[in-house]
Amino acid sequence: MAPTFPLSVVNMLGDPLRKPLIRIDADRVMKLAERLTGLHDYGDNDGSFRGRLNETIDAVQETDWNTVGRFGIRYILHWHLSNRLRLVQLLKQRPDIEEIDIVRPLIITGLFRTGTTYLHNVLAADRSSRVGRMWEFAHPVGRSRDLLGDSKWRRWRGGHEVAMDDLMIPEQGEAHKVTADAYEEDFFLLENDMAHMKLFVGLGEYDYGRRTLDWDMVGPYRWHKRQLQVLWAQRSEERWLLKCPWHLWNLQALLAVYPDAQLIQTHRGLVDAVGSQCSLSARIASKFQRRLDLHEVGRFWLEYSRIGIERGLEARRALRQSQIYDVRLRDLRARPLEIIEDIYRHFDLPLDAELTEQLDARIAEDPTAQLGEHDYDIADYGLTADQIGAQFVDYRTRFGV
């Protein structure tokens, strides 16, 4: 899983001087974003944005990144700081955007690697749903001359980032293939308020993942909503269709901002879900860190998955049954059209013969976003089936996984 050529050569030459060559501090990354955009207002009225940025910087300083890793972190921070500056500028020019209603968004969540991508891709066949593509979520606004448009440049930027991923993590596509025009998760919108899922899910900054568990995430979800409003102003449909596993850990904050959300939670056998996520996380993180302890990967994802289940179930107590639909991955894969028709009935969504045909055609494409077989062995991560099962006894009984 080590970095491959030519990045292995970049690390070999750059690692001795990686820290002075690629400095990571809050003032430095903010000043560069401001120079790149010509903007200076982050809309941080209460200081929470800067607080999350500072804590993010503190966390990443504790990991021994290689040269490519330090470059990656700097790139991610500049990317989302620049997005934030442009978003604030747009909302000052167009305050009416914040009056757009986001009504009953349909949101798919669940533990990582539980079939959320497949379900999302199938449901996206419904043209009544507003579904975000990677380039839209990665760059919800354009450059200053066309903040509410600039789609050609935004798509180019998204494609650039996908190409970087393909170069740095060539085997990622076996588990989850990303393209600029693919339907994608909306976690990018939270990262523009400095709540960075990529840093721990991808780069393996697991201490940062633990820190975010103590954050008040209502603020980031309010910025999430503002960006949905911005994207809705660009193109609207009947409803938003969103997907992101990380919402499970933050369900209470999500529901505070979207109280009428319609939630679908996916479920999968825990050995497969945790094992698959350990493998994907390790494949990515190993390209950016000088040393990666695979057993630490296993410990983190076992603990973090347990916490996600517990927090999600606690938040669900406030929901009406009509707001939540549970689906096991094995049932979805065995009877996809039957399950999807039941989802539409449960949420009282319109479903006619034409739409049923469109959904069935999408199912036939088997849109898993995986290229080839994703092989993994939980033993590589210091885990056993009994150890994983013991952490989720009540959950496994309740949902039959």
CA–centroid distance for 246 within its chain = 6
Task: Quote the Cα angle for 190-329-293, to 5°.
Answer: 60
183 DSSP assignment: B
Instruction: For 163-196, write each residue's pLDDT tens digit.
Output: 988 888 877 777 778 899 999 999 999 999 999 9
Mean pLDDT of 91-98: 98
Question: In 3D, which of 74, 47, 48 has the Cα closest to residue 61?
Answer: 74
Q: Are 174 and 372 in contact (CB under 8 A)?
A: yes
- Cα 387 from chain centre: 27
Q: How much is the pLDDT for 2?
A: 75
pLDDT, average across residues 57-62: 94
Judged against a pLDDT cut of 70, whether residue 392 lies above it is answered with: yes
168 against 109, higher pLDDT: 109
Residue pointed to by tokens 């757009």:
100
Q: Which sign, positive or negative, has the C-alpha torsion 108, 217, 300, 203?
A: positive
Mean pLDDT lowest among 118-132, 167-181, 316-330, 357-371: 167-181
Looking at the DSSP assignment, which residues form a beta bridge with residue 239?
Answer: 129
pLDDT of residue 180: 95
8 Å CB contact between 77 and 194: no
Report the pLDDT value the prediction gives residue 113, as an integer from 0 to 100. 95
> What percentage of residues in the chain have a pLDDT greater than 90?
89
* DSSP summary character for residue 214: T
| CA distance linking residue 332 with residue 339, whole number of Å | 6
At 173 the pLDDT is 72
How many Å apart are CA 294 and CA 314, to the nearest integer?
30
**Is the pLDDT score of 322 beyond 70?**
yes
Residue 203 corresponds to which amino acid?
L
Tokens coding 151: 């789609």
Handedness of CA 295, 65, 208, 401 (dihedral sign): negative
Over residues 259-275, mean pLDDT: 97
Which tokens sit at 307?
A: 């916490």
Q: What percent of the chain has pLDDT over 70?
A: 99
Decide if pLDDT at 371 tops 80: no
CA distance 374 to 175: 5
Other beta carbons less than 10 A from residue 219's beta carbon: 21
> How much is the pLDDT for 176?
77
How is 119-179 classified by DSSP, letter by letter? HHHHHTT-TTEEE-BHHHHH-SS--GGGTT--HHHHHHHHHHHHHHHHHH-GGGGGT----
Beta strands (DSSP E) in 177-303 are 239-243, 262-267
CATH 3.40.50.300 fits 7-399, yes or no: yes
What gap in Å lies between CA 243 and CA 147, rounded to an integer? 25
Q: How far is CA 245 from CA 71, 86, 126, 204, 274, in A?
A: 26, 27, 21, 17, 13
Higher pLDDT, 122 or 21: 122
Mean pLDDT of 312-338: 97
* 8 A C-beta contact, residue 266 and residue 399: no
Q: Residue 372 — very low, low, confident or very high, per pLDDT cuts 50/70/90?
A: low
Q: How many CA atoms lie within 13 A of 184 on its CB side?
A: 21
Mean pLDDT of the chain: 95
Between 94 and 1, the more confident residue is 94
pTM attached to this predicted model:
0.96
Per-residue pLDDT band for 287 (boundaries 50, 70, 90) equals very high
